[in-house]
Each structure stands twice: as structure tokens, then as C-alpha cells.
Amino acid sequence: MSLQHYLIVSALLFAVGLGGALTRRNAILVLIGVELMLNAANLNFIAFWRYGPNPELFTGIIFVIFSIAIAAAEAAVGLALIIAVYRHYRTVRLDRIDSLKG
């Protein structure tokens, strides 16, 4: 397989995640879309590492390891925020959470 196959799959995953993040009303599903976009970027890093000129430097792999660590932190804080918002509004539907101070 050439590099473009992986890049196309990654672009497709990114587009699916973006479409989900834009269209879903449930805050948790929006977070799922964001996670999918992050993973699409990770797939790009690994594909470029494998097909790049200097795979013995492991740059792409190390970048993805840090990216996974940061994505885990983001998911934990994001879900905690959703739980805090739910406790306040009793809903996670983004079209009903529309006031800043209430």
C-alpha cells in the first residue's frame, strides 16, 4: 500500500469525526467526534513515520505517544466538565445549555 491510502483513510476518519462533532446535540457524542479527529491525526503521524526518509529516528512514534497522553488528559477533563454541567442543568444536550450565568 502506498502512503496515500493511509492518508485517505485518515482524512475520512477526520471528516466523520468532524461531521459528528458538528451535527450531534449530545455533549458526550461531540466529545467522541473530537476523539476520532485526534486519532485520525495520530494515524497520519504513524503513516508519515513509516513512509518517511528516516524511520530509525522514531519521531512519529514518540509524537504519537505524547499525543495519546494529552488526549487521555483531555478526555478525562472533558468528561468531568460534562458531568459538572449535567449536575447544573440536568441535561447534556448542547442546544439546551445556552446561558452563561444561571
Cell for 76?
Answer: 478525562
What does the alpha-carbon distance between residue 68 and residue 39 come to, in Å, rounded to a whole number?
A: 9
As measured in angstroms, the least distance from the Cβ of 99 to another protein is 19
The CA distances from residue 66 to 47, 59, 75, in Å, are 16, 11, 14
Give yes or no for residue 96 binding another protein (CB under 8 A). no
Instruction: Provide the Cα torsion 71, 74, 75, 77; round to 10°.
Output: 160
Is 99 an interacting residue with respect to another protein (CB under 8 A)?
no
Site for another protein in 62-91 (CB under 8 A): 62, 64-66, 68-77, 79-84, 86-87
In contact, 1 and 43? CB cutoff 8 Å: no
Interface pick for another protein out of 41, 46, 94, 97 (rule CB under 8 A)? 46
Q: Is 50 in the site for another protein (CB under 8 A)?
A: yes
Residues that bind another protein (CB under 8 A): 1-9, 11-20, 22-29, 31-33, 35-36, 39, 42-43, 46-47, 49-53, 55-56, 58, 60-62, 64-66, 68-77, 79-84, 86-87, 92
